[in-house]
Amino acid sequence: MSDETPEANRLESLLLNGIFALVAVGLLALIGKATGRGVASGGWWTRPALAPGFALVLLVGANIFTLGRAIVDLRARPPSAEEWRDARTRVLGWLRPLELLAYFGLYLWLTIHIGYFLATFAFVMWLMLRTGLNSPRWLLAGAALTVALVLIFRVGLGVWMPSPGYYDAAPEAVRSYLIRWF
């Protein structure tokens, strides 16, 4: 293992500092709405906004100080073209969790419309293909995972899932079977 620590990208750090400073200032601006006015029966130090306000003032101060230092550093040593490219790549990497969140939202929507088994199968297969696990062995493992999830949640734990509308088109016995197991 190497003793060298990777150097942080200064532009990415500046953006993170800016985001944290905006969030801290926004929270400080909203503190009156969030805490409300309380009766200070025990003294001014018992007001609901005191401790969070104190913490947020310190946070805003620290963020502004850090942001200022980052700006001074960037002015003293302007970033290179390579540093700009690296920062852009890293910041775009922040969107990856949002992509996965969108897939999960689609999975939840599909669960209502096509049923738990088919939605889970589609979700697992899509994630396998999206992450590059597209060999037959991995796809078979994904299918086995889908069956295991259905058995664990529907059969073992008896978790209720909404039944999609197309189940109503099946004969009553088949419909009951689909609702119970899929």
pLDDT for 38 equals 63
pLDDT for 102 equals 95
Global pTM reads 0.58
Average pLDDT, the chain: 87
Interval 5-10 mean pLDDT: 75
Domain boundaries, the chain: 10-93, 95-181
Interval 48-63 mean pLDDT: 90
Interval 137-161 mean pLDDT: 91
What are the pLDDT digits (tens) for 64-113?
999 999 999 999 999 889 989 988 998 888 888 999 999 999 999 999 88
pLDDT for 39 equals 66
pLDDT for 3 equals 64
SS3 labels along the chain: CCCCCCCCCHHHHHHHHHHHHHHHHHHHHCHHHHHCCCCCCCCHHHCCCHHHHHHHHHHHHHHHHHHHHHHHHHHHCCCCHHHHHHHHHHHHHCCHHHHHHHHHHHHHHHHHHHCHHHHHHHHHHHHHHHCCCCCHHHHHHHHHHHHHHHHHHHHHCCCCCCCCHHHHHCCHHHHHHHHHHC
**45 vs 88: which has the higher pLDDT:** 88
